[in-house]
Amino acid sequence: MSSMSLAIMSGKGGVGKSNLSLNLGYTLAAKGHPLLLMDCDLGLANLDVLLGITPDENLQDVLLRGADVKEAIMPLNKKTLKPFDILPAASGVPELTDMNSDMRDLLIKRLEPTLAEYELIIMDLGAGIHGTVQSFAAMASVRVIVLTPEPTALTDAYALIKVLGQELGIKDFLVIVNDVVNKKEEESTFKRLEMACQKFLGVNPVLLGSVRHDIKMHEAVIKQKPLVELFPEANASKDINVLADRILKVYMRMKPLLAGQPVLRTLA
């Protein structure tokens, strides 16, 4: 199978990465694509909390205690024909918040065969520009930067793109503007990021789209259920559906390049 891994990232925390990962994952799986949601925020994991589940084992158990990956993965929907699964992580386990290269190699070795069983792997990363974030960014097939219209989210997104370019030579980024009032705010926010990236970094980020600010998001978080499952007609759910279709277009375009390639790349 040709598998595509997407690193969902941001400079600033709290911009909506985990909620977008979860809801995009749900939507893409519902469209018939075997999908693994992977919690890669190894400091402050919270996909399990957003889903109200209590996993027995997690990614840290796999890496630090030799647990079986298959044991750590939980099905999120047993009704769907195609798998929609989660590989959770533990919160407050400091060992892997700054992953070294040995750990990176171990992670790839232990996870690769299992990840290759899915078409799409959504990796929900921690915020920031630290080593573990860089490692996951480098492993993924595609990097998606999430920001909001707030100036701090913009400068932090820029800083992240700058660091990934300088440290790893990564220059291809998709962008999601979350929490927008309207299309105009999507455009103005993206334009500001795009102009700074072009002018100072020689990078051309690509706009994937935006998700509107939606009060229902808060309600879904409180209820510990995906927004798109609880409120499929909400504005944010509709926007997420559009983003999912655009991700599928990217996947179809990349499929020939992904064939025979490892899901997680090793650093050059």
Ligand X SMILES: Nc1ncnc2c1ncn2[C@@H]1O[C@H](COP(=O)(O)OP(=O)(O)O)[C@@H](O)[C@H]1O
Q: Check: CB of residue 66 under 8 Å from CB of residue 38.
A: no
Using CB under 6 A as the binding rule, whether residue 19 contacts ligand X is answered as yes
Q: Which residues bind Mg ion (CB under 5 A)?
A: 17-18
Task: Rule CB under 6 A: say whether 210 interacts with ligand X.
Answer: no
Whichever of 73 and 89 has its CB closer to Mg ion, that residue is 89
Q: Which of residues 112-171 bind ligand X (CB under 6 A)?
A: 127
Contact window for ligand X (CB under 6 A) among 67-75, 90-98, 159-167, 213-221:
213-221
Binding site partner of 15, from ligand X, Mg ion, none, Cβ cut-off 5-8 A by kind = ligand X
Span of 153-161, 166-174, 194-202, 212-220 interacting with ligand X by CB under 6 A: 212-220
User: Is residue 15 at the binding interface for ligand X, with CB under 6 A as the rule?
Assistant: yes
What SS3 string covers the chain? CCCEEEEEECCCCCCCHHHHHHHHHHHHHHCCCCEEEEEECCCCCCHHHHHCCCCCCCHHHHHHCCCCHHHHCEECCCCCCCCEEEECCCCCCHHHCCCCHHHHHHHHHHHHHHHCCCCEEEEEECCCCCHHHHHHHHHCCEEEEEECCCHHHHHHHHHHHHHHHHHHCCCCCEEEEEEECCHHHHHHHHHHHHHHHHHHHCCCCEEEEEEECCHHHHHHHHHCCCHHHHCCCCHHHHHHHHHHHHHHHHHHHHHHHHCCCCCCCCCC
Examine residue 13 and tell whether it contacts ligand X (CB under 6 A).
Answer: yes
Closest CA to 86 of 127, 118, 109, 110: 118
Out of Mg ion, ligand X, none, what residue 19 binds, judged by CB under 5 to 8 A for its kind, is ligand X
Q: How far is the CB of 264 from Mg ion (least distance, A)?
A: 20
Pick one of 49, 106, 159, 221: the residue that binds ligand X (CB under 6 A): 221
211 binds, among Mg ion, ligand X, none (CB under 5 to 8 A by kind): ligand X
Choose among Mg ion, ligand X, none what residue 10 binds, the Cβ cut-off being 5 to 8 Å by kind. Answer: ligand X
> Does 175 engage in binding with ligand X (CB under 6 A)?
no
Task: Answer whether 63's CB lies under 8 Å from 150's CB.
Answer: no
Question: Is residue 18 a contact residue for ligand X (CB under 6 A)?
Answer: yes
- With CB under 6 A as the contact rule, the residue among 48, 119, 186, 214 that binds ligand X is 214
The residue sitting closest to Mg ion, measured at its beta carbon, is 18
Q: Which does 32 bind (CB under 5 to 8 A by kind): ligand X, Mg ion, none?
A: none
Which residues would be at the binding site for ligand X (CB under 6 A)? 10, 13-19, 127, 178-179, 211, 213-214, 217-218, 221, 236
